[in-house]
């Protein structure tokens, strides 16, 4: 898979490419990460890519032309504008994006984008209902969540048992040594060797954790069940 990231701050991604699963995926040839500084596509002598807002308003807006020109260099990719106005990104969306051979993520800054940019992208995505200074962190979130699902990046069974996968619940509690830490002990069922009982316990605990921390997921699953 190839992921292009259009940004004004390519240095944000220097360490990102060298860490953990992303670095491993690049080394194994499963992922190509292409960072594009769209400031280089400005026709302004100072490489300016923003301007004042028509109709008045505070802040500066990213211009359409530099981004459109940058997108012309990745014509065969699926193009995603990272924006607070986009559809909410989740694990289902990560699976969908992972099916593309080439993906382009566009990072915003300032007060946002000239609306006409939407004519040159395939969709808008948001990583949550909050405001960030720029789209670089959002791009890292989408890139990692998507790349780790590509074949060969991690073992299939590893991500199938994680939160939001399979039955849609949060992950069950997990423990390692020591057995007893300051009186907090590992549940005995996990030491029983009875795989049937362990699986049952994990399913129950996943449900209880989800019910406690994410009631919205439980309600969603109940609605699906009633349909």
User: Binding residue per annotation — 117?
Assistant: no
pLDDT bracket for residue 151 (50, 70, 90): confident
Q: Are residues 186 and 113 in the same domain?
A: no
Give me the CATH number covering residue 181. Answer: 1.10.1270.20
User: Binding residue per annotation — 132?
Assistant: yes
Last residue of a domain, one of 101, 133, 156: 156
Last residue of a domain, one of 129, 156, 183: 156
User: Binding residue per annotation — 131?
Assistant: yes
Position 168 scores a pLDDT of 84
Position 167 scores a pLDDT of 78
Which pTM value belongs to this model?
0.85
Range of the domain at 126: 2-156
User: Binding residue per annotation — 179?
Assistant: no
User: Binding residue per annotation — 129?
Assistant: yes
Report the C-alpha gap between 46 and 60 in whole angstroms: 16
Q: Are residues 15 and 120 in the same domain?
A: yes
Q: Are residues 171 and 61 in the same domain?
A: no
Report the C-alpha gap between 201 and 187 in whole angstroms: 10
- What DSSP letter does each residue of 184-221 carry, written as one string? EE--GGGGS--HHHHHHHHHHHHHHHHHHH-HHHHHHH
* Nearest to 123, CA basis, from 87, 80, 60, 74: 80
Q: Are residues 195 and 170 in the same domain?
A: yes
Per-residue pLDDT tens digits for 86-140: 999 999 999 999 999 999 999 998 789 999 999 999 999 999 999 899 999 999 9
User: Binding residue per annotation — 128?
Assistant: yes
Mean pLDDT of the chain: 93
Position 37 scores a pLDDT of 98
Last residue of a domain, one of 104, 128, 156: 156
User: Binding residue per annotation — 57?
Assistant: no
User: Phi-psi bin for 81: left (phi > 0), alpha (psi -120 to 50), beta?
Assistant: beta
Identify the sign of the CA torsion 152, 155, 157, 158: negative
Q: How many domains does the chain have?
A: 2
Give me the CATH number covering residue 131. Answer: 3.40.1280.10
Q: Helices marked H in 77-135 — which ranges?
A: 91-97
Q: Are residues 98 and 186 in the same domain?
A: no
Residue with tokens 């004042």: 52
Q: Are residues 182 and 105 in the same domain?
A: no
Q: Are residues 24 and 115 in the same domain?
A: yes
Per-residue pLDDT tens digits for 47-56: 999 999 999 8
pLDDT bracket for residue 183 (50, 70, 90): very high
């Amino acid at each position: 898979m190839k992921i292009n990231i259009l940004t004004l701050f390519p240095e944000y991604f220097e360490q990102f490419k060298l860490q953990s699963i992303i670095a491993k995926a690049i080394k194994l040839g499963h992922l190509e990460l292409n960072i594009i500084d769209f400031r280089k596509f400005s026709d302004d002598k100072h490489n300016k890519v923003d301007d004042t807002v028509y109709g008045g308003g505070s802040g500066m807006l990213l211009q359409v032309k530099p981004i459109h020109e940058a997108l012309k260099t990745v014509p065969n990719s699926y193009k995603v504008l990272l924006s607070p106005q986009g559809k909410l990104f989740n694990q289902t969306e990560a699976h969908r994006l992972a099916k593309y051979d080439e993906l382009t993520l566009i990072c915003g800054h300032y007060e946002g984008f000239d609306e006409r940019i939407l004519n040159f992208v395939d969709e808008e995505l948001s990583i949550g209902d909050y405001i960030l200074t720029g789209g670089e962190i959002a791009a890292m979130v989408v890139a990692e969540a998507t790349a780790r699902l590509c074949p060969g990046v991690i073992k299939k069974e590893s991500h199938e048992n994680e939160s939001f996968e399979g039955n849609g619940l949060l992950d069950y509690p997990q423990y390692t040594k020591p057995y007893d830490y300051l009186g907090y002990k590992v549940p005995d069922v996990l030491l029983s060797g009875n795989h049937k009982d362990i699986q049952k316990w994990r399913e129950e605990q996943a449900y209880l954790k989800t019910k406690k921390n994410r009631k919205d997921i439980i309600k969603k699953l109940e609605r699906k069940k009633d349909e």
